[in-house]
Copies of this chain bind each other. A is one copy, B any other.
Amino acid sequence: MTRRLHLNAFLMNTGHHEASWRLPESDPYAHVELGHYVRLARTAERGTFDSLFLADGPQLWGSVAQRPAGALEPLTLLTALATATEHIGLIATASTSYNSPYNLARKFASLDIISGGRAGWNIVTTAGAEAARNFGLDAEPAHAERYARAGEFLDVALKLWDSWEDDAILGDKETGVWGDDTKIHPPRHRGTYFSVEGALNVPRSPQGYPLLVQAGSSEDGKNFAARYAEAVFTAQQTLADAQAFYADLKSRTAAAGRDPEHIKVLPGIVPVVGSTEAEARANEQVLEDHIVHRHGVANLERLLQLPEGTLELDAELPSELPPESAIEGARSRYTLIVELARRERLTVRRLIGRLGGGRGHLTFAGTPEQVADAIGTWFAQGAADGFNIMPAVLPSGLETFVDQVVPILRRRGLLRTEYGPRQTLRERYGLPRPANQYAPRENALV
């Protein structure tokens, strides 16, 4: 069977470019309008994407002056989108630091049932003191502790999702026996972070449990992915870096005793398409021209943990910067940004322009053929199993990708031309349905 590319649509209000909301076409209220997201989901489905995805953090970031702030809660929004679509996978971000396993496991099982097996969970540990302070803490838990909790969270969630065997429901009206108590398995978990006694109050869902997705790039993050993740989102700026990340993650997955084919690596790409290369660059420039630089400088200072007023717009970054180890939170993002600035000797203004498009993800401006070529190269050369498509402007950027790039990928045999018969999200990514840890071996593959 031909190896096929996997595509995920990363949806974010008016687009991934921070200035996208200022374009004439954009609706500044889009982030709280269901209709906007329904249109995006149906467009991605028209492009036979595997899945769509919503990022999230349980806090309001910085100033609302800068750009559309806040978002509908992802599991809630994706449930609404489940009823507006038929095939596409629905991946919600949710935090292991600020949820309890019982509630979260149940919500994902419910979404998986309602969507007919299309739920996915982007597992995050949630960096930052702002989030911590919304949940009774004074400061964020240390990086290692967040990952320790995440590991235990997953173990508990997996027990909960397996707490009903697939055939626990009998529905025997004649004898009045609805379910088989011997096929219910309370976790009786007592651990460091969680004690969870009872079985989930939702039967096992079509996929067994949601597709497990992850995006951390730290050592802890990669080891966590190797152990649990079935798909990984990553920010990579160069083919060589992407190849190294890909090889590293596959080998860690094998070392964790799993089939490396069972983890799909999807780098992010911000495609800016034009009918000519010049038009693509002009489209990119229009976006850059809408950036409010005082916001960009403030954000960059915050990200690099520098005092306010340190950065000058038309100078390069200071030569002295804090080491990565001093950064709490998005460490790999920090390093990627500093390396990008140093490698290309970017001024702060140019760096803000580059980040405005992709926040560290690869921005690629070109013709539809050039975008398809870039995707095809990374896919063929051991850098990606697919891509996390992050349009700079929404909905137009996704529509352009689906109308102009997708047909080329299909002609080249890289992408499905239509969805197969009723498949779960996990089947679409070429992954097996997980066995139930409590079921007898002969039932395990049911």
Residues of A within 8 A of B (CB): 19, 21-24, 26, 28-29, 32, 34, 57-61, 63-73, 75-77, 79-80, 82-84, 98-100, 102-103, 106-107, 109-111, 113-114, 130, 133-137, 164, 168-169, 171, 173, 176-181, 184, 194-203, 290, 292, 295
Contact = CB atoms under 8 A, between A and B. Distances in A.
B202 A65 contact: no
B113 A178 contact: no
Contacts of A106: 58, 73
A117 to B, nearest CB: 13
Given A113-B32, A290-B176, A201 B67 contact: no
Nearest to A205: B32
A197 B72 CA distance: 20
Nearest to A129: B197
5 contacts: A26-B173, A58-B201, A68-B178, A73-B103, A77-B110
A133 to B, nearest CB: 4
B32 A202 contact: yes
A76 B73 contact: no
Given A103-B98, A173-B22, A65 B136 contact: no
B60 A184 contact: yes
A30 to B, nearest CB: 10
Nearest to A62: B181
Given A65-B179, A76-B114, A98-B100, 15 more contacts: A19-B176, A21-B173, A26-B173, A32-B113, A58-B106, A59-B201, A65-B178, A69-B201, A71-B201, A72-B113, A72-B114, A75-B76, A79-B80, A133-B196, A136-B194
A102 B58 contact: yes
Contacts of A197: 130, 133-134
A28 B178 contact: yes
Nearest to A69: B179
A180 B59 CA distance: 17
A103 B290 CA distance: 34
Contact of A67 (B64, B114, B178, B180): B178
